[in-house]
Amino acid sequence: MKFLDQAKIHLKSGDGGNGCVSFRREKYIEFGGPDGGDGGRGGDVIFESVANLNTLIDFRYQQHFKAERGIDGMGKNRTGRGGRDCVIKVPVGTEILTDERDRVLADMTRPGMRVTVLEGGNGGFGNARFKSSVKQAPRHANPGLPGEEISVWLRLKLIADAGLVGLPNAGKSTLLSVLTRARPKIADYPFTTLNPNLGVAHVDDEEFILADIPGLIEGAHEGAGLGTRFLGHVERCPVLLHLIDATQEDVVEAYRVVRAELDAYGHGLADKPELVALSKADALTPEDLEAARAELEELGVGPVMSLSAVAGQGLSEIARALLGPIRARRVREHAVESADTPPPTGWTP
């Protein structure tokens, strides 16, 4: 299935049904009068996040979504049926933005979340509503109100617990394939990864989701290479794993290039907790590996780890190091959810 993380769609809520002009005329009933019913309300446009979707490819083939119009009112004081809602299912992590992309209308961060973006128009009053002591036989009714109509952008930001960043060919896809059951494309040329990949890693009877995005190069924030378009998929990660190819001549410059692109992108990526690791450690002698580690630690990046996905070195240590910040965020989220959940009926502190 092709990966698509941005799409523009057009939405329209249902128009309200018209009110009815009707009079009760029955041969054996003494008092007649107006009995026109109200029109039904138009349907709403609702977004619902579902857990079994991971791409916006469906919106490549359908861009227009319209809720049903309310049914007109009828005689005998019968109100028209309300229009059916238009429910649009999107992957968890989808942002709904305005046409100008300057404002987020909704952020679908949890499975089963439902957000009403457009409300349907109200139905018009029938002539029975206008009967009064001075107007016994009103011959007019209100039309239904029109629904709302807008265009929106959908942007998918994958939900992951840890994100892999680094230059092309830093070994991110290889690490993902070893720590998880994901099978990304792996080759010995740059930009092998063209789309983000997700995998579930298992460590110490716990699991977390690991995201691999295409590699960054200098000038990515200006569109060089694949640009920074896919950095949005690690915005929600509580921790980043910065992989640096240990076989490069200048590991410090490799680190600075990626950090500069994260700073230029913004959105809080530069402030996230970061683990720095030298990949392909089996290709260096212990002395050269220690020298590369010392160069990076002189920048103040903290303890620099080393690993080799091919040789299986340092994998469990990396996984456990990533699990620390992930556990901390899970505890915070659980505390927030517990505070927002109302106590059960009859509960006393």
Question: Annotation-wise, does 224 bind a ligand?
Answer: no
Question: Annotation-wise, does 193 bind a ligand?
Answer: yes
Query: Which amino acid, one-letter code, is at 14?
Result: G
Question: Annotation-wise, does 137 bind a ligand?
Answer: no
CA distance 17 to 100: 32
Question: Annotation-wise, does 212 bind a ligand?
Answer: yes
Question: Annotation-wise, does 59 bind a ligand?
Answer: no
Question: Annotation-wise, does 281 bind a ligand?
Answer: yes
Question: Annotation-wise, does 172 bind a ligand?
Answer: yes
Question: Annotation-wise, does 170 bind a ligand?
Answer: yes
Question: Annotation-wise, does 250 bind a ligand?
Answer: no
Question: Annotation-wise, does 168 bind a ligand?
Answer: yes
Question: Annotation-wise, does 282 bind a ligand?
Answer: yes
Q: Could you give the angle at the alpha carbon of 223 between the alpha carbons of 220 and 229, nearest 5°?
A: 80
Question: Annotation-wise, does 38 bind a ligand?
Answer: no
E strand spans, the chain: 6-12, 23-24, 33-34, 45-50, 64-66, 86-91, 94-98, 104-108, 114-118, 149-156, 162-166, 197-203, 206-212, 239-245, 274-279, 305-306
Q: Taking phi first (over 0 means left), then psi (-120 to 50 degrees means alpha), and beta for anything else, what does residue 267 get?
A: left
Question: Annotation-wise, does 192 bind a ligand?
Answer: yes
Q: Check if the beta carbon of residue 17 is closer than 8 Å to that of residue 39.
A: yes
Q: Check if the beta carbon of residue 243 is closer than 8 Å to that of residue 259.
A: no
Kindly tell me the number of DSSP H helices and DSSP E strands found in the chain: 4, 16
Question: Annotation-wise, does 55 bind a ligand?
Answer: no
CA distance 264 to 104: 21
Question: Annotation-wise, does 160 bind a ligand?
Answer: no
CA distance 262 to 341: 36
Question: Annotation-wise, does 169 bind a ligand?
Answer: yes
Question: Annotation-wise, does 174 bind a ligand?
Answer: no
Question: Annotation-wise, does 197 bind a ligand?
Answer: no
Residue ranges at the known binding site: 166-173, 191-195, 212-215, 279-282, 308-310
Residue ranges at the known binding site for Mg(2+): 173, 193
Residue ranges at the known binding site for GTP: 166-173, 191-195, 212-215, 279-282, 308-310
